[in-house]
Amino acid sequence: MSLAVAPPVADARLRLGLRAGLGIFVLLLGIMPLLNLLPVTHPLHVSDFLVSVTGKWICYAILALSLDLAWGYAGILSLGHGAFFALGGYAMGMHLMRLIGPRGVYGHPVLPDFMVFLGYQELPWYWLGFDSFPFAMLMVLLVPGMLALIVGFLSFRSRITGVYLSILTQAMTFALMLAFFRNDMGFGGNNGFTDFKELLGFALNTSAARAGLFYASLVALVLSFLICLRLTRSKYGRVLTAIRDAESRVRFLGYNTTSHKLFAFVLSAMLAGLAGALYVPQVGIINPGEFSPANSIEAVIWVAVGGRGTLVGAVLGAFTVNGLKTWLTSAAPDLWLFVLGALFVAVTLFLPKGLIGLIKGRVQ
Amino acid sequence: MSEGRRLYLDGVSVVFDGFRALNNLSLIVEPGELRSVIGPNGAGKTTMMDVITGKTRPTAGKVLFGETDLTRMDEAGIANLGIGRKFQKPTMFDALTVFENLELALKAPRGPIACLRWKLNGEARTRIEQTMAEIGLTERAQDLAGILSHGQRQWLEIGMLLMQDPELLLVDEPVAGMTDSETEHTAALLVRIAGRRSVVVVEHDLEFVRALGRRVTVLCDGSVLSEGSIDHVQNDQRVIEVYLGR
Ligand SMILES: Nc1ncnc2c1ncn2[C@@H]1O[C@H](COP(=O)(O)OP(=O)(O)OP(=O)(O)O)[C@@H](O)[C@H]1O
Ligand SMILES: [Mg+2]
């Protein structure tokens, strides 16, 4: 007697179809910067705007994946993932600020403009090392990771779950926003960081740099997807879903659920930080607004719309909702928040499994 | 193992808002013993299991597993000592298949990294397949646990308990929802396990308890009312009054 561990055929086919769809989608994204090089008159030309906005969406898709790992698989509904994204963004921003060097308005050889303006005599200790790219990249992962470790440890150990955990994470991002608004924090207050010049020796205002960042983001998205896939397809992934559905039962099987949730939460925060770090040089600015609670909630809506608990769903949701947002904010800017709210209500009521659920329903 | 005590409850009390669910309960289970626990609804049978497995902290008393004091440990720690539990209301992971539920329960390192690196080897697969054959769910291996019938869920949870390979099995009402032949099968299974392992079974079905044929403890109002063979307790006047004669 041999047992096929494969899921039913229809399911496997569907999964294959979705993966293939995603592969084609990534390929299409991959040729966008190339099509951008075609003359403007060419029918296949892709505008600068579309390339840069798509680059942003790719970062959002990474954020959506990270949130899906925490929420869709481990059941940790974080309403503060924007904070991890923003911290990664700030770490990258600090690196970019250090690279400006003497090219700032005040021409100070080391201090960023805002520090000169605020009368700093020397660089605060926590800015040291950020002139090094590898160090900054390490911080992009470590700072969000450490915050997630602390917040996660304290709350998971005390068995704070559900709504309470959501409120706690929301409070976390709100508190960080208020902190980063303060000038004396040394992060540029409400102006944040901007006027970046270069990264890894490439001037940021060139189309080559833009394409480079675009491809870096795309590679990061694919890698994040593969990491999440590896995780969720393993026994560890099944432990996470078991924790999501019946945490106390998992404990009675001898699993220390705190460490399992912590592992997922920290990894998720690191992916969110990576997304933020790729986002900042593309948009050219980072300020405390990135910590706004609304940002974190929007990310939850992307995942809900796409279909939580499926990786393809998270990516799909990020692109769909942000595509809609970009279109609507130019077509009817006042409508966007209402549409977003309505979308969330509609998905919660009619599409609990999101767009992926809809597609699955069609196929079966 | 200390002088033939696998599990030792000593004067355990549990008070919920002034209500005594367990009242100075003492109980000794020996290594390899199969013990049946019966008693009217609300007698405290499930609460006793809650106390042993760390779900509920006793208000007073000691709970020793061998030499280890369980009252200071959390659920996962207790489970890893070798105490497995089947719940009164079968609980498992509905979004996972029968096979996956058993795989999660299978005794193996429990940390995140270990789970991440876990590979289903031939030995583990064989054990899972044997268990599925034992619990009659071989055909349902790839079905989600959520679509099983109540009786099948009972079986699956018994299977999960077997996969954990515990020293002490706490089995809360295993045959509710089972057919007569399934009930017989369960009795035979538990009898077979006992001897190598200690087993505590809570059950209302007296035919089943008789089929187990071992020592019976009658709980009432949170403490032991009577203890002995099934014939002994069935003829005990106090037991007839509060439980059997209803
Ligand atoms: N968490 C709790 N809070 C308050 N009261 C509780 C709690 N758990 C159990 N009880 C009460 O303790 C008493 C014993 O309950 P328990 O579930 O142990 O009984 P039982 O012997 O398993 O009964 P049954 O045969 O119905 O399963 C009941 O009166 C129950 O209402
Ligand atoms: Mg009970």
Summarised one tens digit per residue, pLDDT across range A253-267 is 999 999 999 999 999
Task: Please name the helix (run of DSSP H) or strand (run of DSSP E) that holds residue B11, with its range, or none.
Answer: strand B7-16
* Each residue's pLDDT tens digit, B111-151: 999 999 999 999 999 999 999 998 999 999 999 999 999 88
Contact at CB, B118 and A252, closer than 8 angstroms: no
* Each residue's pLDDT tens digit, A71-112: 999 999 999 999 999 999 999 999 999 999 888 888 888 889
B176 in reach of chain A (CB within 8 A) = no
Q: How many domains does chain A have?
A: 1
* Residue A2 clears pLDDT 60, i.e. is over it: no
Mean pLDDT of all residues in A243-251? 95
Is A4 among the domain residues? no
What domain range includes position A195? Answer: 9-363
What predicted TM-score, i.e. pTM, was given to this entire model? 0.93
Ligand 1 binding pocket includes B49 (Cβ within 6 Å):
no
Is A117 among the domain residues? yes
Is A1 among the domain residues? no
Q: Which of A236, A250, A252 sits opposite B53 (nearest CB)?
A: A252
Is A266 among the domain residues? yes
What is the residue type of B121?
Answer: N
* Residue A8 clears pLDDT 60, i.e. is over it: no
Categorize the per-residue pLDDT at A9 as very low, low, confident or very high, splitting at 50, 70 and 90. Answer: low
Distance B179 CA to ligand 2 centre (A): 20
Q: Is A199 helix (H, G, I), strand (E, B) or coil?
A: strand
* Residue A331 clears pLDDT 90, i.e. is over it: no
Q: Which residues of chain B have pLDDT under 70?
A: 1-4, 245-246
* Each residue's pLDDT tens digit, A266-312: 999 999 999 999 999 999 999 999 999 999 999 999 999 999 999 99
Is A3 among the domain residues? no
Residues of A in contact with B51 (CB under 8 A): none
* Each residue's pLDDT tens digit, A315-326: 999 999 999 999
Categorize the per-residue pLDDT at A4 as very low, low, confident or very high, splitting at 50, 70 and 90. Answer: very low
Would you state the pLDDT for residue A75? 95
More confident residue, A45 or A54: A54
Would you state the pLDDT for residue B4? 67
Min distance A258 CA to chain B CA atoms (Å): 10
A337 in reach of chain B (CB within 8 A) = no
How many angstroms separate the CA atoms of A190 and A336, rounded? 25
Is A268 among the domain residues? yes
Is A173 among the domain residues? yes
Categorize the per-residue pLDDT at A7 as very low, low, confident or very high, splitting at 50, 70 and 90. Answer: very low
> Does the CA dihedral B65-B68-B73-B78 come out positive or negative?
negative
Would you state the pLDDT for residue B245? 65
Q: Which of B112, B113, B164 sits opposite A253 (nearest CB)?
A: B164
| A165 within 8 A of A244, measured Cβ to Cβ | no
How many angstroms separate the CA atoms of A31 and A50, rounded? 12
Label residues A278-294 b or e (16+ Cβ within 10 Å = b).
bbbbbeebbbbbbbbbe
Would you state the pLDDT for residue B195? 85
* % of chain A surpassing 90 pLDDT: 67
Is A218 among the domain residues? yes
* % of chain A surpassing 70 pLDDT: 97
DSSP assignment of A69-113, as one string? Answer: IIIIIT----S-HHHHHHHHHHHHHHHHHHHHGGGSSS--SSS-H
Would you state the pLDDT for residue B2? 46
